[in-house]
Amino acid sequence: MKLRDLAGVDSDSEVTGFAIDHRKVVQGSVFGAFKGAVFNGEDFIALAIERGAVAVVARSEASVPDVPRLSDTEPRRLFAQLASRFYGPYPETVVAVTGTNGKTSTVEMTRQLWRMAGHRSASIGTLGVTTSDDQVKTGLTTPDIVTFLNNMAGLKRLGISHVAYEASSHGLDQHRAEGVPLKAAAFTNFSRDHLDYHPSMDAYFEAKMRLFDELLPQDGTAVVWTDDPKSAEVIERVRRRGIALMTVGRAGETIQLVEQQPTALGQKLVIRFAEGTYRLALPLIGAYQASNVLVAAGLAMATGSKFETVFSAMQRLAPVRGRLERAVISRAGAPVYIDYAHTPDALEAAIAALRPHVSNRLITVFGAGGDRDQGKRPEMGEVAARLSDVVIVTDDNPRGEDPATIRAAVLAGAPGAKEIGGRREAIAEAIRIAVDGDIILVAGKGHETGQIIGTGANERVLPFDDALVARECAA
């Protein structure tokens, strides 16, 4: 594709690809020079041109010698728009999910519902790119825009017609998920997270709302979980734009959750759709899983699936890796559950999900990540101490911080908790003290398979899988 055809500039240069890392520039690349948290891409413009960049997307103030400069008040947005024209075509049916918690489960459940309805489907997010046949890790909930568009185009070439992806606040703020037309978008919930990046909760919320204010087209459909304090504001924004709306939850007008009762290996739901009432045996433990399932059901229906087809498929959903995943049952008879919860709200939801199944004690093992929002650490400690019978505070990706300092901040909110720095030792201790009737929750890592130590050039990722370690300790 000629640069003049792609960007409307006077140049016959052939565009071969896009790059935001100057080291990945090859002859014919369009280079995106953006200011980041650590590096300023504008400092590498000359090097990118030396490597063969035929154009640079940057601020109008940036110095760009010898090749066209493509400028915009939001250069990341412009870069995404140009890249989307280059990499397409994309799958016909694409939906996005935003919210603090539940995104991973919701996109994966949407993928499963589509698959059971006969569609070739995929999900993109924290777990990577998942299809019925494969799973490839990308390292980020919302990968960079070039990776995102490449993945989408690659899925189209594989014959995938339906894709659900996680729209994180970072990704939305940095225009990392642009350019692929959406059929629907969903909101799960909103609570404290990522305040190491966003200057305030309001800024964090506004970043998420770009999905509904800007990216979801006028002919798309918004699916909103009704039972979050922010749900009413999301619904109001959608209605102001005149976009089709589906609401699900206890106050849902599309699908209403009428009753919810835990069972040994899942839960029974009573839901209302149109004029009918339906009893659903959901094979997923945890009360909050009902919200993920109903949002996924809304997305499936918003993209053409009939309720009867979706209802049947919901009863056959498989658990999502690292989301209240039962890793093992100890020799004493205590099940060990692994969950990705790493915010106060998510930790509270995970504990609340397990509590109805506990006949004796709930033992919670968790930590907090280094170089991340420090204010949530004592809040997580308070939640764990208030809702658990035994709390063990341990390490969880300390990165560049002193692990003992992180644990101390968590323990400030949970003064009666045990402190065991080594994560393997903490899990082993929980299993050692557990008896029949206890349940163990190991929170924080979920699907992750590494412990991150150090930062920058000194960063190391030590192999660590909570589920695998729990099984080894139980054995």
Q: What angle do CA 86, 131, 172 make, to 5 degrees?
A: 50
pLDDT at 132: 80
The response to whether 372 counts as a known ligand-binding position is yes
Burial class (CB in 10 A: 0-12, 13-18, 19+), 436: exposed
Angle between helices 307-314 and 289-302 (to 10 degrees): 150
The response to whether 110 counts as a known ligand-binding position is no
Mean pLDDT, the chain, as a whole number?
92
The more confident residue out of 28 and 284 is 28
Provide the percentage of residues in the chain whose pLDDT is more than 70: 96
Q: Which of 226, 219, 173 is CA-nearest to residue 199? A: 173
15-24, 151-160, 270-279, 454-463: least confidently modelled range: 454-463
Q: What is the pLDDT of residues 418-452, one digit of tens each?
A: 999 999 999 999 999 999 999 999 999 988 989 99
pLDDT at 75: 93
The response to whether 226 counts as a known ligand-binding position is no
The response to whether 101 counts as a known ligand-binding position is yes
Type of residue found at 262: P
Q: How confident is the model at residue 319 (pLDDT cuts 50, 70, 90)?
A: confident
* CATH architecture of the domain covering 3-75: 3-Layer(aba) Sandwich (3.40)
Q: Which residues touch 267 (CB under 8 Å, ≥6 apart)?
A: 260, 261, 282, 284, 285, 286, 287, 289, 290
Q: Which of 435, 429, 465 is CA-nearest to residue 450? A: 465
The response to whether 460 counts as a known ligand-binding position is no
Is residue 36 within 8 Å of residue 23, measured between CB atoms?
no
pLDDT at 198: 59
On the question of pLDDT at 261 being above 60, the answer is yes
* CATH architecture of the domain covering 88-314: 3-Layer(aba) Sandwich (3.40)
Q: What is the mean pLDDT of residues 172-178?
A: 85
pLDDT at 127: 85
Q: What ranges do the domains of the chain cover?
A: 3-75, 88-314, 325-474
Q: Which residues touch 33 (CB under 8 Å, ≥6 apart)?
A: 41, 42, 44, 45, 48, 56, 57, 58, 62, 64, 75
Q: How confident is the model at residue 263 (pLDDT cuts 50, 70, 90)?
A: confident
Phi, psi for 392 (deg, rounded to 5)? -120, 120
CA distance 163 to 150: 13
Answer CATH for 325-474 from 3.90.190.20, 3.40.720.10, 3.30.70.890, 1.20.1260.10 = 3.90.190.20
pLDDT at 38: 76
The response to whether 156 counts as a known ligand-binding position is no
The response to whether 448 counts as a known ligand-binding position is yes
The response to whether 397 counts as a known ligand-binding position is yes
CA distance 325 to 286: 10
The response to whether 230 counts as a known ligand-binding position is no
The response to whether 436 counts as a known ligand-binding position is no
On the question of pLDDT at 195 being above 80, the answer is no
Q: What is the DSSP letter of 219?
A: T
pTM of the model: 0.79
Is residue 342 within 8 Å of residue 368, measured between CB atoms?
yes
